[in-house]
Amino acid sequence: MLTLKTINENPEEVIRKLAKKNFDAKALVDQIIELDNERRSTQAVLDSTLAEINSLSRSIGKLLKEGKKEEASQIRDKVSKLKETSRSYDDTLKETEEKIQNLLVLLPNLPHDSVPEGKSAEDNVVEKTGGKMPELPADALPHWELAGKYDIIDFELGVKITGAGFPVYKGKGAQLQRALINFFLDKAREAGFEEVQPPYMVNAASGFGTGQLPDKEGQMYHVEIDDLYLIPTAEVPVTNIYRDVILDEKDLPIKNTAYSACFRREAGSYGKDVRGLNRLHQFDKVEIVCIEKPENSYARLRQMVDHVQTLVDALELPWRILRLCGGDMSFTSALTFDFEVFSAAQKRWLEVSSVSNFESYQANRLKCRYRDANRKIHLCHTLNGSALALPRIVAALLENNQTPHGILIPGVLVPYTGFDRID
């Protein structure tokens, strides 16, 4: 959530920057500034009224000591009326503050200056590429056919048990899942991330804190009777560990990693591009989260991007990094880099990670702050990234490594799987 200070000091800049996200903010910004002026005016009158109440209240005792009971009684009546007036001002102030908050949450985060112009994924900029493109025969199979051929993922059984988008992993398919999770967690720990195991459901306050609510409630599974939400990513519970917390500057950065199942309704998703593992309602992911000082957050973002690169390199997958344009960024992000791997049988790029800096946007909603050496309180910057999401990684591994004699397992995973091929 943007701060009132940012909006009041630079309204035109806020409007200009949000236009890069294809968001017309002028009406909202004008309304917020108008309401904030009303709030300031009401606060000034309330403060003056309270000061008068205090002054008059002090005089009552003095008048009573002097035996001026009638004058003291008149002042009591005046104080009583002023207190009623102050309560009215206080109610008005609270109503105005609530209106401001309701409008603030409608404004997206400001994009970083380096975010490219653009309206959709077609306008994203390729930052870097790596890995070697596999050479497959013309009759190479997509992963959903390989999954059936080797009996490692059963999509129809998932439909029977739950519904579409909830596959059942079997045998070496299940072992490959577990191997990837452990590999990603081990690499995150080696990079200095402390592992946590978060809940898979969160309350509305947590959803609000990281920006999923009120923006994405339609994409989240909601347990209405308990008013809990199944997490779309471990980012939500892990970042909310630091909600309403004031950290010490010396404790920053905080670096966490977590494995979780993730749940997304993906309403409206259909067609050939969502076949197999390409888009699921439940999937596994290892997340990395950082809480950082503002002046260090972009260097931290680069380190997180480099970490993800080491993972796709280790898996021997062809990859590319995209700098997302304004129109393809999330509501809460200031700058996002997406990782994609090439799926040789599908002949298309598949997104496997997003690494983002949210600057103080989430921290302001979370009230995640730190105290510096001079005891001053500042908002933190929050960052997170997928390191990595499993479904499309598995899809690319199966497709790119298929041979007439089975599917080869990358060498770094063999100690985790216990086998070097699926046959």
Whether 231 has a pLDDT exceeding 90, the answer reads yes
Q: Tokens in use for 142?
A: 């997509």
Could you tell me the sign of the dihedral formed by the alpha carbons of 314, 319, 321, 327, in that order?
negative
Residue 24: what pLDDT?
98
Which residues of 144-295 form beta strands (DSSP E)?
A: 153-154, 168-169, 194-195, 201-203, 222-223, 228-230, 245-248, 254-263, 282-292
pLDDT value, residue 266: 82
Q: Check whether 274 has a pLDDT greater than 90.
A: no
Residue 269 has pLDDT above 70, yes or no: no
Section 372-377 average pLDDT: 96
Q: Is the peptide bond before 315 cis (omega within 30 degrees of 0)?
A: no
Work out the average pLDDT over 379-406.
98
Percent of the chain with pLDDT over 70: 98
Beta pairing partners, 46? none
What value does the mean pLDDT take over residues 213-217? 76
**pLDDT tens-digit profile of 158-210?**
999 999 999 999 999 999 999 999 999 999 999 999 999 999 999 999 999 99
100, β-bridge pairs: none
Domains (range + CATH), the chain? 4-104 (1.10.287.40), 121-422 (3.30.930.10)
Q: Which helix (H) or strand (E) holds 340?
A: strand 335-343
- 216 — pLDDT class (breaks 50, 70, 90): low
Q: Which DSSP category does 349 fall into? A: E
Round to whole Å and give the CA distance between 323 and 124. 6
CA distance 223 to 226: 6
With CA atoms as reference, report the closest residue to 290 among 337, 364, 238, 244: 238
Give 320-362 pLDDT, tens digit per residue.
999 999 999 999 999 999 999 999 999 999 999 999 999 999 9
Whether residue 270 has pLDDT greater than 70: no
Averaged confidence pLDDT in the chain: 95
pLDDT band at 267 (very low <50, low <70, confident <90, very high): low
Q: Please check whether residue 244 is in contact with residue 273, taking contact to mean a CB–CB distance below 8 angstroms.
A: no
The vertex-287 CA angle with 160 and 233, nearest 5°, equals: 45
| pLDDT over threshold 80, residue 137 | yes
Tell me, what DSSP letter sits at residue 332? S
